[in-house]
């Protein structure tokens, strides 16, 4: 629901300059940030933790959010995330798993 509200706010900002004047700086900044985030393919690399008492954790390793030129390369960050994960995982003695998820880091 929050995502829908943010998208509606962004749409209103783009179509109604008078409304944009009434919104706070924070709201305008958030709307533009949301618009930018939806236009860039963002991926985050995670790894599992070594098991301690059977407890596995999902650990943030890196976030791939580069803009590639005119941003026509949709999978630029996804491919780089996958390559990095494969390189980490292929090192001798590594027992944890690496994987990529779309978007910025989430707990």
Question: Reduced to 3 DSSP states, what percent helix, strand and coil does the chain have, rounded to the nearest 5?
Answer: 45, 20, 35
Is the pLDDT confidence value at 55 over 90? Answer: no
What pLDDT sits at residue 92? 92
**CB neighbour list of residue 23: distance below 8 Å, 6 or more residues apart:** 9, 13, 31
Is the pLDDT confidence value at 80 over 90? Answer: yes
What pLDDT sits at residue 8? 60
What is the C-alpha to C-alpha distance for residues 77 and 37, in angstroms, rounded to an integer? 13
Q: What is the pLDDT of residues 8-49, one digit of tens each?
A: 656 655 665 555 566 677 777 777 766 666 656 889 999 998
Per-residue b or e along 19-28, where b marks 16 or more CB atoms closer than 10 Å to that residue's CB: eeeebeeeee
Q: Please give the structure tokens belonging to residue 89.
A: 């995982």
What pLDDT sits at residue 45? 96
The CA distances from residue 7 to 11, 13, 43, 86, 100, in Å, are 6, 10, 21, 35, 25
Beta-bridge partners for 43: 64, 102
Measured over the CA atoms of residue 70, residue 71, residue 77 and residue 78, the dihedral's sign is negative
What pLDDT sits at residue 95? 87
Task: Please give the mean pLDDT across all residues of the chain.
Answer: 77
What pLDDT sits at residue 24? 74
What pLDDT sits at residue 22? 64
Average pLDDT over residues 63-77: 75
């Amino acid at each position: 629901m929050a995502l829908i509200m943010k998208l509606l706010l962004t749409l209103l900002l783009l179509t109604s300059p008078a409304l944009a004047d009434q919104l706070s700086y924070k709201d305008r900044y958030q709307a533009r940030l949301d618009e930018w985030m939806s236009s860039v393919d963002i991926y985050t690399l995670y790894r599992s933790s070594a098991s301690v008492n059977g407890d596995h954790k999902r650990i943030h390793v890196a976030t791939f959010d580069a803009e590639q030129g005119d941003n026509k390369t949709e999978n630029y960050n996804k491919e780089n995330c996958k390559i990095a994960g494969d390189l980490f995982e292929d090192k001798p003695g590594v027992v944890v798993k690496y994987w990529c998820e779309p978007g910025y880091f989430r707990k």
